[in-house]
Structure 1
Amino acid sequence: MSAGNRSVLAIIDSRKLPDRLGADHTIFAALKHFGIPCEVLDGGDYMGAIPEYIAPRALYVIAHDGAAEWLKPEVAARIAEAVKQGAGLICFDRRVDEWPSDLRGLLPTDVGQARVGTLSIAEQPSFVTHGHEPGAELELEQEIAVVTLPSSAGWQPLVTTGDGQAVIASGAAGEGRVVLFGAGEQLYAEGVFGHVRGIDGLMWRSIVWAAAKPFPMRCIPPYVTARMDDCNGTWNAFDYVRVMNRYGIGPNLGLFIDEMGPTDWAAAKRLYDAGGADFSMHAFRDDFYTARPNYTPYAVLPDKPDLSNGGTQVAFEGLSMDHHTGLDLPLETIQRNFRRMDEAFSRAGIQHSRVLNSHFGEVGWGAVPLFLERGVDMPTNNTAFGQLYGNQPVWHPKPYGIRGLSGRYGVTIDRCPQHPGMTFVAMSVSHARKTHMGLDILSGRVPFIGESETPKLDEAAAAGIANIKLGLDALAYGMLFTHEERINVISLEDWEYVVNSIVKGLDGWEVEYAEREHVGVTCKRLFDSALVRANLTEQGLHCVLCGQTDGPSPLTIWENDGEGCTRRVVEVDALEGYAEVQLGR
């Protein structure tokens, strides 16, 4: 029990290589992302374990098919007794009839088998299925074998087959709570359904619901934030940002600094001073759309620079990379460009955000140390350094290494492979949508260069709600995103309608509206540290954390609330390698 009685013990068998390999990506990557202290009990390890290592725990996770077959009767009995006394059990092992009898006795006697290509959310709402409409279908990429449960008293179906047989179900065993994933960990395999596609909540909510309480996690709070790219202020000089500020949303704004006029810079300064936004260098300019005959801005500020001379001389000028060849600009040019950037931000009285938000995500290697000198250390684009936007390399960024059909990655919270000073913090839904533009809620829905004849405001709001919920369900963060040139073709009232509709659409969801830089800083601090021990004593919950952080970070404590659960967040001071946190009962 070195990780404590409020930790997780995952049961695996490394001798069953094909079965266990899947769990590395589907279960253990998730436990790491959720910030859960976890140890393993491995059937392939000849060293064994003392009884005190096995119990007590907050939760047991049987992590893959065949993982529990090897358990000796006395070990299985100790786990079963711990569950009956209040620990939780999550089962991803579909070979339940191979279990030792004491452990098998925690589940219904009569289980069945089926093959399915579609699953459905059960009709009865629950904490675990929060955010899903009853009866909503989950279409799998391929058929898989599932264990089905009979209609048994005390077991609540969570996910069912098309004919109503429970595949994921929750129940009680004595004082403990049990959740059976009859689809196994295979449900979260990339070729079946996968992570960050809307069902991560079924996993982490099952863990939270089943675990003995209080149950601590180092997870990301339910932040909702925003990011706008290609920014020059629009016709309303960033007034659209104030619409988001009313709810506490502070976007990161990626600036085209040469396209901004005095009114834009003055408005940016006011936002900066009020904490209403953080600002990043996007590029100097990229005004291609001004040459299009169907480009019609809603209005134009009188002091907005006309760099393109009415659309006749459009250009793209980036900071550090040649947009055509993918090569770094000469180092002298990069250094000169950084001085231009510094001067523009300094004149406005604005400090560059820690968020690196580069146009097309294109960052030359020569720019990396210059960004770091300025404290810019959190890239937000779902692209790798040192190359053009297209043909992204395969690099499996944490937490899940999800690569979409367009070659773009989804949620990314990971160190830059080539430079440890940079930590990617990016929330994208490009992997889960038809194109990489799925993240842009206005794309194809406003009259920008022929994308739509009229504003489709309800469609835009629905896209924003879906994208944000996807991030929250993944225990990442919700992102409201668009390219500012699309805001530039609609009225402020239209934009206000979209934002208000998104906020209303999140009713019933636990959300914390936040500034984008703050979200990134929190994610990085969580990434740079870990909860390694959690133990409940008569004095309260004792937690041990390790790592190095540059400021406070959240520790989430879950408690039971009837059949649901509630969280409270405790701020932990900056970590200098090791810290103990004592929380009273």
Structure 2
Amino acid sequence: MNLALIAATGIVLNCRGPEQAVSSEVIVLVNSNSPEVTKGTQKLIPYLNHFGVSFTTADLAEGSLPSGPEKPALIIVSHPGIAADDMTLTGLLEQYLKKNQASGTGIVSFDLLVPDSLLDFEGDEPGIDPDVGELVFPPEKHYITAYHQPGEVKDLFGYMAVPIMTADNARVLLTGNNHPLLVVAESASGKIVQWTSQDWMYSSVLGPMGGLDDCLWRSVVWAARKPFTMQAIPPIVTMRVDDVVGSGRQQWDETPLHWVRTVNKYGFKPWLSLFIYNLTPEGIEELKELVNSGSATASPHALGRPPRPESSQEHFDAYYEYQMVKDHFIPDYYHPTAIPYLSDYYDEFIFFDHNNRRPWSDDVAAKALKAVDDWYAEVGPLPRSNYLIAHWGEMGSNTISHVANNWGIEFIAKSKILDKAWGDDAPSIKQGPFGLYDEPMVGIPKKVQPRFRSSYSADFIELAGEEFFAFSSTISDITGYELEPDNDVEATADRGIRTLRRGLESKSLAVLFTHETDYIFRVRPENWDAIFRKISQGIAQYNPVYMTTDEALKILRAHHTSAIKNSSFNEGTGELQIIMSGHTDVPTNVFVYTEVNNEVKEMLVEIPVFKDSTKVEVILDKP
């Protein structure tokens, strides 16, 4: 699907005079001698990578400033204590920033003392307020805070520390306990954004996907000299549904997957994680039609939920029962040639012995995987998605080779290491953009706080010698893990809109996630229709592009394997030249930001499939 709003030709014209070429270079300053350096390297830089900002890192530990490039589009002071108490370096840094700002370079700083012109301490001594439990947006709108309502209050998970300062020479865009957290200033030559604390970047306070990421990327865009380029994810919307059994006929005397057809009406193309043995012949035929028409994709999640008393929570006592939804759906149908039950109660798992908290033996794992292969051979042809999520996220290492090499799985969701049960105290798999580093406890915990945090991963990982591109997105602080739809149309639609807005505003792949056997089966068909009509209307302002998860993940992976190497603008010709490096297997996109009459404009440029490098050009209006 073509996402481009501007068609890039792929042809590069020669610039007419080097004096007319303006670079979009971004310089990120760090100081490895500073005790605060990890706030830049482990918190801010992962955000920049996620947003697709092309940058060069300069370490000030040697006591010198970058010698080039001339006139960068933006300089980012990435953490507090950037000068590491070196007064000589502090003076040189102020001169460096003022010189570049005079030539139109923007500045985004996370050091409250650099630059020194916007903020002042209250009183003679610096002070810190450690008890900021909510953030407040001002009554007036600004580009950086445009996604937030005037006067909006953002509740935090924990209490963060904010310096006690005044902003006499800047406009305040965000406060905590009336202390400035985010301030801006601009002159005829350039713009400055200054954050006084990075505590909100930690999950103990708020963290990625927590509702403030938009202010970060918009800070970068607003401050940077235009035109400015950024390889962020386009406004793609997907849907994920786990524990799919096709309940429609049994519950409502509708077609088994009627709810998929309903969401299709409003653009959604859900990815379905199947309980394969519960799909009736009618459901299988409907699934084939949906998959073959591009209206959905699907892959195995578990063998199924047997129609037996032991499938109901009232008939078993398990360590994970508190995590389950009461009175979940138990299908009447179970595939007639199914293999004998592997478990005494609850569901039949493919990839792990869930009830006994251990991997299947090699023999049982092979038996379960063969059962899936036999089912597909019997009911087929049925295309299988190349994205896989195991039931409860549990997988044994003895299943990995089969799913990679026999099923062709390229994409996976896996947060914990292999061979460990859900709930085990097991290490998480290190994966970007936000989970590459162990995170310290920051701030003071609140007595009452949400049980779940939002999470987002998109990175290559290795499992049992096989490489996958891992992806998962759960906006869990709105409802507690997933959408949890019910027959309250207004409330459910509101949760769905807020969930998708969070992803779209964070420049992330937006996912609406739920379960059929926990929630969808309970929702009356007419209410389900009304919910998705309202959700689609509620996100229309973002111009969403609805895709299958398989399509979207190929784009996400291609953004990961490619990057903006450089972009430059010829003021004489109005030509923007974008140089890409890496490789892609599907077309990707780059955001181009321009500014006319103090209004920032956003547009997408399509980048064709390429290997090693490519150049594209766009003709913009001359300033």
Counterpart residue number, 1:129: 145
Counterpart residue number, 1:92: 110
Secondary structure of the corresponding residue to residue 560 of structure 1? strand
Secondary structure of the corresponding residue to residue 389 of structure 1? coil
Q: Deviations over 1:200-219 (max 9, x none)?
A: 11101111111112211121
Q: Deviations over 1:209-241 (max 9, x none)?
A: 111122111211122211000001221321211
Counterpart residue number, 1:45: 62
What amino acid is the match of 1:554? N
1:206 aligned to 2:219? Answer: yes
1:35 aligned to 2:52? Answer: yes
Q: State how far apart, in whole Å, the 2-side matches of 1:552 and 1:70 are.
A: 48
What amino acid is the match of 2:410? D
1:364 aligned to 2:378? Answer: no
Q: State how far apart, in whole Å, the 2-side matches of 1:411 and 1:197 are.
A: 10
Q: State how far apart, in whole Å, the 2-side matches of 1:304 and 1:328 are.
A: 24
What TM-score, normalized to structure 1?
0.84
Counterpart residue number, 1:532: 565
The farther-off stretch of 575-584 and 469-478 is 575-584
Name structure 2 gaps, 5 residues minimum.
1-21, 249-254, 315-325, 440-448
Counterpart residue number, 1:467: 499
Q: State how far apart, in whole Å, the 2-side matches of 1:411 and 1:381 are.
A: 11
Once the two structures are TM-superposed, the CA of residue 91 in structure 1 deviates from its matched residue by 1.4
Once the two structures are TM-superposed, the CA of residue 358 in structure 1 deviates from its matched residue by 1.6
Contact 1:65 1:92 in 2 (8 A): yes
Q: State how far apart, in whole Å, the 2-side matches of 1:385 and 1:406 are.
A: 24
Q: State how far apart, in whole Å, the 2-side matches of 1:523 and 1:413 are.
A: 8
Alignment partner of 1:390 out of 393, 401, 423: 423
Alpha-carbon spacing, 1:239–1:108, altered in 2? closer, same or farther (3 Å): same
Q: State how far apart, in whole Å, the 2-side matches of 1:305 and 1:565 are.
A: 61
1:243 aligned to 2:262? Answer: yes
Counterpart residue number, 1:567: 602
The farther-off stretch of 356-365 and 547-556 is 547-556
Alignment partner of 1:179 out of 187, 193, 196: 193
Contact 1:307 1:314 in 2 (8 A): no
Counterpart residue number, 1:264: 283
Q: Percent identity?
A: 22
The farther-off stretch of 337-346 and 191-200 is 337-346
Instruction: Report which structure shows greater RCO (CA 8 Å, sep ≥6).
Output: 2
What amino acid is the match of 2:428? V
Counterpart residue number, 1:334: 365
Counterpart residue number, 1:8: 26
Alpha-carbon spacing, 1:381–1:186, altered in 2? closer, same or farther (3 Å): same
How many matched pairs?
552
Q: State how far apart, in whole Å, the 1-side matches of 2:565 and 2:106 are.
A: 19
Once the two structures are TM-superposed, the CA of residue 550 in structure 1 deviates from its matched residue by 2.5
What TM-score, normalized to structure 2?
0.80
Q: State how far apart, in whole Å, the 1-side matches of 2:371 and 2:429 are.
A: 33
Once the two structures are TM-superposed, the CA of residue 343 in structure 1 deviates from its matched residue by 4.1
Q: State how far apart, in whole Å, the 1-side matches of 2:565 and 2:462 are.
A: 25
Once the two structures are TM-superposed, the CA of residue 22 in structure 1 deviates from its matched residue by 1.9
Name structure 1 gaps, 5 residues minimum.
447-454
Counterpart residue number, 1:452: none
Alpha-carbon spacing, 1:389–1:108, altered in 2? closer, same or farther (3 Å): closer
Q: State how far apart, in whole Å, the 2-side matches of 1:564 and 1:263 are.
A: 54
1:221 aligned to 2:201? Answer: no
Q: State how far apart, in whole Å, the 1-side matches of 2:261 and 2:596 are.
A: 37
Once the two structures are TM-superposed, the CA of residue 80 in structure 1 deviates from its matched residue by 2.1
Counterpart residue number, 2:474: 428
Counterpart residue number, 1:142: 159
Q: State how far apart, in whole Å, the 2-side matches of 1:457 and 1:81 are.
A: 56
Alpha-carbon spacing, 1:167–1:409, altered in 2? closer, same or farther (3 Å): closer
Correspondence list, 1:288-437, <5 A: 291=312, 295=327, 315-346=346-377, 347-373=379-405, 374-380=407-413, 382-391=415-424, 392-401=426-435, 410-418=455-463, 419=465, 421-430=467-476, 432=477
Alignment partner of 2:613 out of 575, 578, 585: 578
Alpha-carbon spacing, 1:371–1:564, altered in 2? closer, same or farther (3 Å): farther
Once the two structures are TM-superposed, the CA of residue 254 in structure 1 deviates from its matched residue by 0.3
Q: State how far apart, in whole Å, the 2-side matches of 1:303 and 1:548 are.
A: 45
Secondary structure of the corresponding residue to residue 508 of structure 2? coil
Counterpart residue number, 2:77: 62
Contact 1:461 1:498 in 2 (8 A): yes
What amino acid is the match of 2:375? A
What amino acid is the match of 2:617? Q
Q: State how far apart, in whole Å, the 2-side matches of 1:411 and 1:124 are.
A: 31
Q: RMSD value over aligned CA atoms?
A: 3.4
Q: State how far apart, in whole Å, the 2-side matches of 1:111 and 1:58 are.
A: 33
